Copies of this chain bind each other. A is one copy, B any other.
Amino acid sequence: MRDIGAAVIGTGFIGSVHLNTLRRLGVPVAGVLGSSPSRGAERAKALGVPRAYGSLDELLADPAVQVVHVTSPNVAHYPQVKAILGAGKHVICEKPLSMTSAQSADMLALARASGKIAAVCYNTRFYPLNQHAHGMMSAGELGDLRLITGQFHQDWLAKETDWNWRLEADEGGPLRSVSDIGTHWVDLTNFITGQKPVAVMAELATFIPERQKPLGPVETFTTATGATETRKIATDDAATILLRYGNGGRGVLTTSQISHGRRGLLTWDISGSKASAAWSAEAPENLWIGHREAPNQILLRDPSLMNPFGAAASGMPGGHPEGFADTWAAFFSQVYADVARGSRGPQSTWASFEDGHYEMLFCDAVLESAAQGTWVNIAGGN
């Protein structure tokens, strides 16, 4: 992967994560594209990147670039990805894939037609124990899915003085907690269970109907100071969602960005017909495995104890904790191997545009269900 050149669109928090991961893997990063030419130039210097492109066209014209990473705000994903695929380059796009499922359907069709690698950044799949759980489930070790519960709770928008561009529907889309973090959970558990929910019953809640918007810019996960204006907020601070799976399994998901003391508590808990398993992002190196007639187990991440999926995603021997940054290394490592190969490998586990498009359909169904107060079927569930 050291011969494949990359460029990164977006230079904020998650853009830096992409950049640092590429460096760690030895992938040459040709340049970055900022939100404006001057911002891009400033960030390129700060980040030590050789070049700041003046425009997407300039980026796409750079022959050193074979893979483009899209970390811009959600609203920009659609036009950028179309241009990238149109230019014959591979693309790794942040989630959610787009603003609407019509866009993501287009993007999926383009990706298929292009034959290029097109990945969505659901990095959470790449915690090695999530990969291991995927392997356990596909090998039938837990039996059939009966019940899955889980959550993704944060607190960074718990106060009315907290602000972020995602709060307003025109920039982040009509959903917030469901779209921004809920789709992480949906993607992760779809990956693990091998199923996609077929119907959803959702309730959306906005507990803080008015917030103070700073007049100046705000970085994600930072707090602004200075003058503000009051804005009405309609996007979801939290959501409570019931799920139905094609095999008769049931599920529950809650999302929240207002839970004091929870920074990024993504959890899942699967009750299968043979055994159970559970995992939490707050203790990502432990997989709980539940038994009725034997002691429960805690699998501490260790390649020597894991199935091939888990072992492949482990960058370290046991006893050397891995974290968020390491999931990106495992993720990109697999994608770039597929770029080198020219197609998705048979054992590859990164989220495809099919997955990203499903997440958009899921969001559509959530919105419709919440509006109607009834169950809504999800196209693309299985």
Within 8 A of B (CB), among A24-73: 24-26, 48
Distance (whole angstroms) from the CB of A185 to the closest CB of chain B:
13
Check B26 against A292 for contact (C-beta < 8 Å). no
A201 CA to B272 CA in the complex, in Å? 24
Cβ of A341 under 8 Å from chain B: no
B326 near A290 with CB under 8 A, answer no
A147 CA to B157 CA, complexed, in Å = 14
Are A259 and B147 in contact, with the CB atoms below 8 A? yes
Q: Give A182-204 interface residues, CB cut-off 8 Å to B.
A: 201, 203
Question: Interface residue tally of chain A, by bracket?
Answer: 35 or more
Question: Cβ of A258 and Cβ of B290 under 8 Å apart?
Answer: no
Contact present for B325 and A322 (CB under 8 Å): yes
Kindly state whether residue A134 has any CB partner on chain B within 8 Å.
Answer: no
Is A321 a contact partner of B282 (Cβ separation < 8 A)?
Answer: yes
Contact of A291 among B146, B207, B261 (CB under 8 A): B261
Q: Is there contact, CB below 8 Å, between B373 and A302? A: no
In whole angstroms, how far apart are the Cα atoms of A13 and B318 in the complex? 13
**Which residues of chain B have C-beta atoms less than 8 A from A299's C-beta?**
295-296
Which residues in window 300-330 of A have CB below 8 A to B?
300, 302, 304-305, 315-326
B254 and A146 contact, CB distance less than 8 A: no
Interface residue? A293 (CB, 8 A): yes
Q: In the complex, how many angstroms separate the beta carbon of A145 from the nearest chain B beta carbon? A: 10
Taking the complex as formed, is A139 at the interface, i.e. its CB lies under 8 A from any CB of chain B?
A: no
Q: Which of A99-107, A165-173, A242-250 participates in binding chain B?
A: A242-250
Give every chain B residue within 8 A of A207 (Cβ-Cβ): 146-147, 248, 273
Q: Contact: A147 with B326, CB < 8 Å?
A: no
